Amino acid sequence: MARYRTAGQEQAQRPRSDFRVAERPGYLLHKAAMLLDEDVEKHLVAGVAMRSRYFLLLATMASGPELSQKDLSQLLNLDPTTVVTVIDEMERNQHVERKRNPADRRRYQLHVTPAGRKALAAAEKVATEVESSFFGTLTDSERETLRDMLSRVMAGRWPASVCERSL
Amino acid sequence: MARYRTAGQEQAQRPRSDFRVAERPGYLLHKAAMLLDEDVEKHLVAGVAMRSRYFLLLATMASGPELSQKDLSQLLNLDPTTVVTVIDEMERNQHVERKRNPADRRRYQLHVTPAGRKALAAAEKVATEVESSFFGTLTDSERETLRDMLSRVMAGRWPASVCERSL
DNA sequence: TATTGTTATACTCTATAACTATA
DNA sequence: TATAGTTATAGAGTATAACAATA
């Protein structure tokens, strides 16, 4: 992961920051998400040797409705082939077991093992700490407001439209 | 660009959505940014044949302090080699001219041409429409709150730490 | 005939390293 | 010796398409 953020110690000839992009709400959203993603990925890898998409897939499998690999790829916007790769890895790590769905033998029932749940708990602890630190300057009430606004902005697109299906 | 969001029309056997990831503020932020990025990219390509990073670089060059390619790569978290590629393309499109900085002949002065500003204006119109539509369910006051919260969350990391340098 | 999951492959994007020129 | 920019190359990531099994 590249780091272009660490600053040098040079002359500050024009301490302005009137970048047009910095005023676009869309770019602020993009940038904030990128910074948080990097933080989460870095700490997950360092703390529990797990990458973000592994964590997200595991967390999704461990909670809520039972999902096929196809469902997961739709919900998390991951390519189906990527889901295969990550779940292969999960099986090798004995965090997940693939069992055929008796009602539709094309699908898998993805079963998170106790070891998988344990690993997930550790990862969630890390992720929660990173998020808490990232949103550190916001009050609890503000965090709730942010959560609410983001949910509303996505209403009907996520996760709703995915859930319309078999979920 | 892949689309895993368009839903089929099947049985809704479990209309729940208690995914653990959906409750993480971090994932909400990530997902919202992804959706918006996709919208912006799609409409920029379709409307003005311009990709997002081209637009971002052009918008940054056209406003604020004069930046070298190195500065741009740091500010926008783009690899320096990517910046070279995109600015090459901009030169072919006659949107930008490279001139040597007389004070430091290693650096370029990147000059946005009138044609470049015209293209930028068209792109900004598209991007603004997409953003406006994306944040459509928020009131003006809420949008300001969101902008403010995102800025505060990033305070000290962006664009400040980049600006500490030569900008 | 359509769908889930898989594999193989191609392609895009990004990162790494070496090079030129300037400082 | 260090930095800005460039080029070539390698690697990671993702998408495409063909396939097997099942519906």
For each of the domains in chain B, give its residue range(s) and CATH number, in order of start: 24-163 (1.10.10.10)
Average pLDDT for A122-145: 96
* Under 8 Å between Cβ of A67 and A110: yes
Among B145, B25, B162, which Cα is nearest to A136's? B25
| pLDDT tens string A14-68 | 333 457 788 889 999 999 999 999 999 999 999 999 999 999 999 999 998 899 9
Residue A9 confidence (pLDDT):
29
**Nucleotide nearest A107 (Cα, C1'):** C4
DSSP string, A144-161: HHHHHHHHHHHTTTSSHH
Q: What pLDDT was estimated at residue B20?
A: 79
* Residue range B45-74, pLDDT digits in tens: 999 999 999 999 999 999 988 999 999 999
Instruction: Outline where DSSP puts E strands in B28-95.
Output: none
- pLDDT in the model for residue B164: 54
With 0-12 / 13-18 / 19 or more C-beta atoms within 10 angstroms meaning exposed / middle / buried, residue A61 is: buried
B109 touches strand C (CB under 7 A): no
What's the pLDDT tens digit per position in A75-130? Answer: 999 999 999 999 999 999 999 999 999 999 999 999 999 999 999 999 999 999 99
pLDDT of B75-107, one tens digit each?
998 999 999 999 999 999 999 999 999 999 999
**Helix A114-134 × helix A52-62 angle, to 10°:** 120
B31 interfaces chain A, CB cutoff of 8 Å: yes
DSSP state of A20: S
* Calculated CA dihedral for residues A154, A157, A160, A162, nearest 10 degrees: -140
- Tell me whether residues B163 and A16 touch, CB distance under 8 A: yes
For chain A, where are the E strands, in sequence order? 96-101, 104-112
CB contact under 8 A, A21 and B145: no
Q: How far apart are CA B91 and CA B24, in angstroms?
A: 43
B21 with A143: Cβ contact below 8 A: no
Closest listed residue to residue B153, CA positions, set A152, A129, A29: A29
Structural contact between residues A7 and B156, judged by C-beta atoms closer than 8 angstroms: no
Secondary structure letter of residue B87 according to DSSP: H
Most confident of A19-33, B102-116, B152-166: B102-116
pTM of the model: 0.87
Q: In the predicted model, what is the mean pLDDT of chain B?
A: 86
A159 and B3 Cβ atoms separated by less than 8 Å: no
Q: What percent of chain B is modeled with pLDDT above 70?
A: 84
Q: Judge contact between B97 and B109, C-beta under 8 A.
A: no
Q: Is the pLDDT assigned to residue B157 strictly greater than 90?
A: no
More confident residue, A37 or B165: A37
Residue B42, pLDDT score: 93
Give the total residue count for chain B: 167
B17 touches chain A (CB under 8 A): yes
